[in-house]
Amino acid sequence: MAAAGAHGPLHGFRVLDLSRVLAGPWASQLLADYGATVIKIERPGSGDDTRHWGPPWLADREQRPTGESAYFLSTNRNKQSLTVNLAHRKGQEIIRKLAATCDVLIENFRVGRLQRFGLDFASLNAIDPRLIYCSITAYGQTGSRADKPGYDAMMQAAAGLMSITGPPDSEGGGPQKVGVAISDIMCGMYATTAILAALAARDGQAGGQGNGKGQHIDIALYDSQVAWLANQNMNYLIGGMQPQRQGSAHPNLVPYQMFATANGHLMLAVGNEPQFKACVTALGCPNLVTDRRYMSNASRVGNRQSLVEILAGKFLKQDTDYWLDVLTDCGVPVGPINNIDDIFSEAYAQERQLVRQLQHPLAGEVPTVANPVRFSATPVQYRSAPPMLGQHTAEILSRELQYTPDQIAALSRDGAI
């Protein structure tokens, strides 16, 4: 158990977050969960694009919609919101002053945009050589596509994911997008690990001395999406075959897919020979273990259709709960196909505290989905709800940069904040 009041592992680190939408904010939320102080820079008057991506909207204490979107709330906890006009000279000065106090800066502007404001890596590195500057773009800082914009959906399409997602054409299928913005989320995860690695290089790791220097991290949504196609990439590079859409089936394992039961569906995930033997024995067809067509995973992949037809007929003879109980007792990986209501209604959600409550100035409380990481000594932090637009502007300017109330009022009148 972590000691009461223990700090997160990144306590003391400071992050200046100039990103918006999802990939960058996902990375900065993770860093904030791990204890870093994150200052989120937003456009005056409008803020992060996702503040407007509703409904649904958070309801206040009287159950009236607040204008705080569920989308924004999903990825901005533990942050402070400071509104700054980056196109204003005095706004740029604020960013430079804050960058000099921070360990990390995250941005996802079009290539060259921040250079026009004197807020690019080279400019800020000259002010603070220890700053780690992470740029997230559609196609990276170099190459023929560097100036092109991009969102998650087009990355799922262009970088290969949709070509392997969905039922095969023979079942009336077509390319499908994953139900969440997974390209953005995975890019944010890559960004987080890269930032942590850069901090280790700067500050030292494994008992060694760091080099004391920051660096520029260039991460592209497209490159990230290609990278995490994982075994499908290697199936192509090694096997020379174009990966196809196979619905819920696995390209390298059989049986590993969804099956219909007498009253619904389940997901079977057989990963080795003992599991296959246990599975077919439980289904009442143990002879399949010694059938030459199915004696190894390689042979099962080669005879996928005939095996799946046999198993499909067996599964239809009993309901889902029956097969879940029988196969689980045999040590066969199998699970229900839950919807999101099922997930949060199960006792497991309470056992693992998958939902936490955070204090919110309008709603009283707002739910948040727990970070899945469990540290034994440096716990994940749940300090504050996603901020309202500009909620911390005056506080940060006065506390961090020693602006007076009159100066802050003047900045507001000038349109700098």
Q: Evaluate whether 176 touches 166 at the Cβ level (below 8 Å).
A: yes
Classify each residue of 216-234 as buried b or exposed e, where b means 16 or more C-beta atoms within 10 Å of its C-beta.
Answer: bbbbbbbbbbeebbeebee
| Alpha carbons 386 and 253: distance in angstroms, whole number | 42
The candidate with the shortest Cα–Cα distance to 78, out of 43, 31, 41, 42, is: 31
Sign of the four-CA dihedral 316, 321, 326, 329: positive
Amino acid of residue 316 = L
Token pair recorded at residue 131: 């700053």
Neighbour tally for 334: CB within 10 Å: 21
Residues β-bridged to residue 73? none
Residue for token digits 């919609």? 65
- Kindly name the residue from 33, 184, 218, 223 that is annotated as catalytic: 184
- 184 catalytic? Reply is yes
Pairing of strands 37-42, 14-17: parallel
Q: Is the peptide bond before 243 cis (omega within 30 degrees of 0)?
A: no
The residue among 353, 361, 409, 340 whose CA lies nearest residue 379 is: 353
Distance separating alpha carbons of residues 277 and 271, to the nearest angstrom: 11
User: Which residues carry out catalysis?
Assistant: 184
